[in-house]
């Protein structure tokens, strides 16, 4: 089988045109082409009136070797690579030293699945609830302003990615094809097969819920064990003969103790109490950059027309997205970047706090992406120089901004909101326009400036007109911004070595977004697979050494 890349056809091409394009590209008669499989389909919308579909195709020919010899220097004609996933190890008979996975967001979920598939029967500890119960608690905040600090958008089965757009694409390099493994497992669990070939696949919240449940059943059938409402509050770390440190178990909030020499730490970016415990236990961590800002909403139809022109509404294109960035030039803003983050076409802005008395926003879409508004975070980069008072200072920085947002919203988890016109004019909003904010429980028109540092406000004010030049209507006066977005990524990194262990605590495997090694469902899930591999090699290596 051969793989052809960069096969371009018009958006409205006929099914027969794909076969004709392959034959023309390879210079072959029709009888030489036996089969075509679409590996990937994307689009190029830079010319709105001439949008092209871009295919990566796997084709079966009568004589593939002869065809390859005719294209020795063509990077777009090659043999189809072997993308089959291969497990790095298998558990021996009588295996008993079960690994523990803390947290079951995308990273912990994939780590647990791969560990289970290797026969290692992981024990999964989740401080929140199973996904269905967790969904009810999340709706309790959105509909009744009732927050459950242990069961919300951040905590519970499926992690923060469950209440998102369900994007499954990333810029990570993946030569081992771990991302393909993740996508295939998601399809087995009920995701649409199109995620295997679309260049920008997504699932949506409701489908993610059923998928997470399906994957849990698979893990349990393979010998894995879930324990919900089980919060890890301490680690048993003991000194080793060589002067190092080894994890030996975890202490639970209910007073229980679970012995374990291999622990995957996949707690997500909002487990602030866990981060404090890790620092107290001497696990090496360091502050890292992240970003803060607001959610901005526009009519989805406006974004569609701007990106796709007359092709807006074409089902092959779906709801349009965007990706924007501006490098600030104003005095005192040098080095700051403002960019769009977690863009949710046809979605809603959601309440994503996990702590009382604080307001946090995030974005969410269903699979259909059929809601009236498009939303995205517009965020400003911040670095440890902005919060220099220790490893956990970024957490305090986030909390301060979230408390400001809660106060500006007037309480009851209402969020402060302001129109773009008022924001750019530096005046509080008292009313809103045609763009109706989607955030629940609700918004309070006000002045967003007090909710972020002055440099962040100045940077966003500089960026919005620049974004208007890229997306016409972006700075329209009645576009709505809702504050604040603070959980873009973890404000710290739990350092690990090449073998996957913590750099100073053997047997502890920091992973995913909370450890500072991922951002989004796909990269977090891929990191979970890699971490499971590291655990298996370490665990089975220890067994072999003991024997």
Question: Are residue 455 and residue 397 in the same domain, yes or no?
Answer: yes
For the chain, count helices (H), then strands (E): 12, 23
Query: What is the rounded CA–CA span in Å between residue 159 and residue 531?
Result: 17
Query: What is the rounded CA–CA span in Å between residue 11 and residue 314?
Result: 9
Question: Are residue 243 and residue 322 in the same domain, yes or no?
Answer: no
Query: What is the rounded CA–CA span in Å between residue 226 and residue 240?
Result: 30
Residue 91: inside a domain, yes or no? no
What is the model's pLDDT at position 167?
A: 82
Question: Are residue 369 and residue 432 in the same domain, yes or no?
Answer: yes
Is residue 375 helix, strand or coil?
strand
What is the model's pLDDT at position 545?
A: 67
What is the model's pLDDT at position 367?
A: 87
Query: What is the rounded CA–CA span in Å between residue 293 and residue 324?
Result: 14
Question: Are residue 187 and residue 333 in the same domain, yes or no?
Answer: no
Question: Are residue 157 and residue 228 in the same domain, yes or no?
Answer: yes
Question: Are residue 235 and residue 321 in the same domain, yes or no?
Answer: no
Query: What is the rounded CA–CA span in Å between residue 105 and residue 87?
Result: 22
Q: Residue 50 CB: number of other CB atoms within 10 A?
A: 12
What is the model's pLDDT at position 177?
A: 87
Question: Are residue 68 and residue 147 in the same domain, yes or no?
Answer: no
Question: Are residue 116 and residue 261 in the same domain, yes or no?
Answer: yes
Domain region containing 400: 289-485
Residue 293: inside a domain, yes or no? yes
Strands 415-419, 443-445: pairing kind: parallel
What is the model's pLDDT at position 479?
A: 98
Q: In Å, what is the CA distance from 79 to each residue of 2, 3, 57, 223? A: 4, 6, 11, 38
Residue 440: inside a domain, yes or no? yes
Query: What is the rounded CA–CA span in Å between residue 221 and residue 216?
Result: 9
Residue 117: inside a domain, yes or no? yes
Residue 112, Ramachandran bin (φ over 0: left; ψ between -120 and 50: alpha; else beta): alpha
Domain containing residue 8: CATH number: 3.30.70.2700
Dihedral angle sign, alpha carbons of residues 15, 16, 20, 23: positive
Question: Are residue 430 and residue 503 in the same domain, yes or no?
Answer: no
Tokens 């949710």, residue located:
344
Residue 85: inside a domain, yes or no? no
What's CA 55's distance to the chain center, in Å?
25
Query: What is the rounded CA–CA span in Å between residue 230 and residue 101?
Result: 12
Residue 86: inside a domain, yes or no? no
Domain boundary among 485, 513, 538: 485
Question: Are residue 216 and residue 111 in the same domain, yes or no?
Answer: yes
Q: Does a cis peptide bond (omega within 30 degrees of 0) precede residue 201?
A: no
What is the model's pLDDT at position 547?
A: 57
How many domains in the chain? 3
Residue 95: inside a domain, yes or no? no
Q: In Å, what is the CA distance from 23 to each residue of 8, 18, 30, 36, 511? A: 13, 9, 7, 11, 46
What is the model's pLDDT at position 546?
A: 63
Is residue 424 helix, strand or coil?
helix
**Residues 17, 57: contact at Cβ < 8 Å?**
no
Domain containing residue 210: CATH number: 3.50.50.60
Residue 94: inside a domain, yes or no? no
Question: Are residue 503 and residue 446 in the same domain, yes or no?
Answer: no
**Residues 528, 107: contact at Cβ < 8 Å?**
yes
Domain boundary among 450, 469, 485: 485
Domain boundary among 79, 109, 143: 79
Query: What is the rounded CA–CA span in Å between residue 159 and residue 175?
Result: 26
Question: Are residue 59 and residue 186 in the same domain, yes or no?
Answer: no
Residue 193: half-sphere exposure toward Cβ, Cα within 13 Å: 2
What's CA 119's distance to the chain center, in Å?
28
**Residues 288, 269: contact at Cβ < 8 Å?**
no
User: Is 0.85 surpassed by the pTM of this model?
Assistant: yes
Largest CA distance in the chain: 73
Query: What is the rounded CA–CA span in Å between residue 3 and residue 25?
Result: 12
**Residues 328, 338: contact at Cβ < 8 Å?**
yes
pLDDT digit string (tens) for the chain, length 547 residues: 999 999 999 999 999 999 999 999 999 999 999 999 999 999 999 999 899 999 999 999 999 999 999 999 999 999 999 999 999 999 988 788 899 999 999 999 999 999 999 999 999 999 999 999 999 999 999 999 999 999 999 999 999 888 887 788 776 677 678 999 999 999 999 999 999 999 988 887 778 889 999 999 999 999 999 999 999 999 999 999 999 999 999 999 999 999 999 999 999 999 999 999 999 999 999 999 999 999 999 999 999 999 999 999 999 999 999 999 999 999 999 999 999 999 999 999 999 999 999 999 999 998 889 999 999 999 999 999 999 999 999 999 999 999 999 999 999 999 999 999 999 999 999 999 999 999 999 999 999 999 999 999 999 999 999 999 999 999 999 999 999 999 999 999 999 999 999 999 999 999 999 999 999 999 999 999 999 999 999 988 877 666 5
């Amino acid at each position: 089988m051969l793989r052809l890349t960069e096969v371009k056809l018009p958006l409205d091409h006929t099914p027969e045109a794909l076969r004709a394009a392959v034959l023309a590209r390879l210079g072959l008669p029709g009888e030489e082409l036996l089969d075509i499989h679409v590996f990937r389909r994307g689009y190029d919308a830079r010319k709105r009136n001439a949008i092209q579909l871009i295919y990566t195709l796997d084709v079966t020919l009568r004589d593939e070797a002869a065809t390859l010899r005719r294209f020795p220097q063509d990077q777009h004609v090659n043999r189809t690579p072997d993308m089959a996933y291969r497990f790095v190890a298998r558990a021996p008979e009588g295996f008993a030293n079960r690994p523990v996975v803390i947290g079951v967001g995308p990273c912990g979920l994939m780590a647990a699945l791969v560990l289970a598939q290797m026969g290692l029967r992981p024990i999964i500890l989740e401080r929140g609830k199973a996904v269905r119960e967790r969904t009810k608690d999340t709706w309790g905040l959105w509909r009744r302003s009732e927050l459950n600090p242990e069961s919300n958008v951040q905590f519970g089965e499926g992690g923060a990615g469950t209440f998102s757009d369900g994007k499954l694409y990333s810029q990570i390099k993946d030569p081992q094809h771990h991302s393909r493994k993740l996508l295939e497992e998601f399809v087995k669990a009920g995701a649409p097969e199109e995620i295997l070939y679309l260049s920008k696949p997504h699932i949506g919240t409701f489908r993610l819920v059923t998928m997470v449940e399906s994957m849990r059943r698979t893990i349990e059938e393979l010998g894995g064990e879930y324990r919900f409402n089980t919060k890890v509050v301490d680690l048993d770390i003991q000194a080793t003969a060589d002067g190092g440190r080894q994890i030996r178990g975890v202490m639970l909030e209910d007073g229980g103790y679970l012995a374990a020499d291999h622990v995957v730490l996949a707690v997500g970016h909002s487990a602030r109490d866990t981060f404090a415990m890790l620092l107290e236990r001497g696990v090496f961590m360091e502050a890292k950059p992240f970003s803060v800002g607001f959610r901005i909403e526009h009519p989805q139809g406006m974004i569609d027309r701007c990106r796709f022109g007359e092709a807006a509404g074409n089902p092959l294109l779906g709801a349009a997205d965007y990706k924007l960035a501006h490098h600030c030039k104003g005095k005192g803003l040098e080095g700051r970047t403002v960019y769009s983050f977690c863009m949710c076409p046809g979605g809603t802005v959601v309440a994503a706090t996990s702590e009382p008395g604080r307001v946090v926003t995030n974005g969410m879409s269903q699979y259909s992406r059929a809601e009236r508004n498009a939303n995205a975070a517009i965020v400003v980069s911040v670095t440890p120089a902005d919060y220099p008072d220790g490893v956990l200072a970024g957490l305090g920085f986030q909390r301060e901004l979230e408390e400001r947002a809660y106060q500006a919203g007037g309480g009851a988890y209402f969020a402060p909101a302001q129109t773009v016109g008022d924001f750019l004019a530096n005046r509080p909003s008292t009313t809103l326009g045609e763009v109706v904010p989607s955030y629940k429980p609700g918004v309070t028109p006000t002045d967003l400036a007090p909710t972020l540092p002055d440099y962040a406000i100045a940077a966003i004010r500089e960026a919005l007109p620049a974004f208007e030049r890229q997306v016409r209507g972006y700075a329209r006066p009645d576009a709505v911004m809702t504050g604040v977005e603070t959980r873009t990524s973890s404000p710290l990194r739990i350092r690990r070595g090449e073998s996957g262990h913590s750099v100073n605590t053997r047997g502890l495997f920091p992973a995913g977004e909370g450890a500072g090694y991922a951002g989004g469902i796909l990269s977090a899930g891929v990191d979970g697979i890699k971490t499971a591999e590291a655990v298996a090699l370490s665990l089975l290596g220890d067994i072999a050494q003991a024997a």
